[in-house]
Structure 1
Amino acid sequence: MNKIEKVLFTGKTHTTASRESTGAHGKLDLNLSVAGSADQDLTYAAVAPHPLAEQLFAGAWSACYTAAIGLVAAQKRVPLPADMSVDIEIDLGQTGAAYFLQARFEVRIPGVAQDVAERLAHAAHQICPYSKAVHGNIDVAVNVVTA
């Protein structure tokens, strides 16, 4: 895998799984934000802000991955806290003339033992179709927080 030398854009999501379901698949809340530094501010004039491709990818991946954590937890009979969440940042970057993606996950499973939470996070990547699709293609860093 190639390392990104210069990050061009970052798409961020914050995903929480809701226990209040209105359908067979439940409800998922996603918050999208545009990351930018002082030299990378984005301005939308006369148009409604719209998500970047990196945000859409992060949103789809986080929805799938959050559901995978729930599935793995149910299989292992580990109760998940109501405030479990997943933050994903997808960077579009460049190395030389080539473009690449990289991802950072912050998985929050408060009140669950660290080793159990890490096993859930790892197992979810093994069954999530998005995680499997990018495995070996992009750098993915995972940080699990239980406090």
Structure 2
Amino acid sequence: MKILYTAEALATGAGRNGHARTSDGKLDVDLAMPVEMGGNGEGTNPEQLFAAGYAACFHSALQMIARQEKADISDSAVGARVGIGPTDAGGFGLAVTLEVTLPKLSAEQARELTEKAHQVCPYSNATRGNIEVTLEVSED
């Protein structure tokens, strides 16, 4: 694979209760465990960062496919829910639900474009076979 761009970030402090910053300083956040996991929730967490990244990346993949297919995806949106919980093997795992809204397309067209985007999105390719990713498609 030819690398086109490399992002760099450093986490310091106490992991999930620490700090994260990108090398260019554009992302500079305090981290905190969510209340649901026993933390104070007074910072962002890795699951929120992953959800934001996956939603943005998937939306870009969807736009690329739409351009190729000359489909109108104006007013589209992609939301991501990232869940974390214990696995049967004793560690922790993630599960993702992507909520894709394509109000200008029929249900069939929206589902087809979403499936195609799922095949080209770098986050989808990285997670495929590793975590459960559920695609939910709506027209509004």
TM-score by length of structure 1 reads 0.66
C-alpha distance 70-35 of structure 1, shift in aligned 2 (>3 A): farther
The match for 1:99 is: 92
Q: Aligned match of 1:129 in 112, 118, 122?
A: 122
The match for 1:118 is: 111
2: CA distance between counterparts of 1:41 and 1:87?
25
Which residue identity is paired with 2:81? E
2: CA distance between counterparts of 1:144 and 1:121?
8
1: CA distance between counterparts of 2:63 and 2:118?
12
1: CA distance between counterparts of 2:82 and 2:62?
19
8 Å CA contact 2:78, 2:99 repeated in 1: yes
| More RCO (CA 8 Å, sep 6+) | 1
8 Å CA contact 2:61, 2:120 repeated in 1: yes
Mapped pair 1:58 → 2:55: no
Greater percentage in strand: 1
The match for 1:70 is: 63
- Helix, strand or coil at the partner of 1:79: coil
Pairwise CA distance, 1:95 = 2.5
Give the % identical residues.
Answer: 30
5+ residue gaps, structure 1, are 1-33
C-alpha distance 112-35 of structure 1, shift in aligned 2 (>3 A): farther
Following TM superposition, where does structure 1 have runs of at least 4 consecutive aligned residues deviating by more than 6 angstroms? none
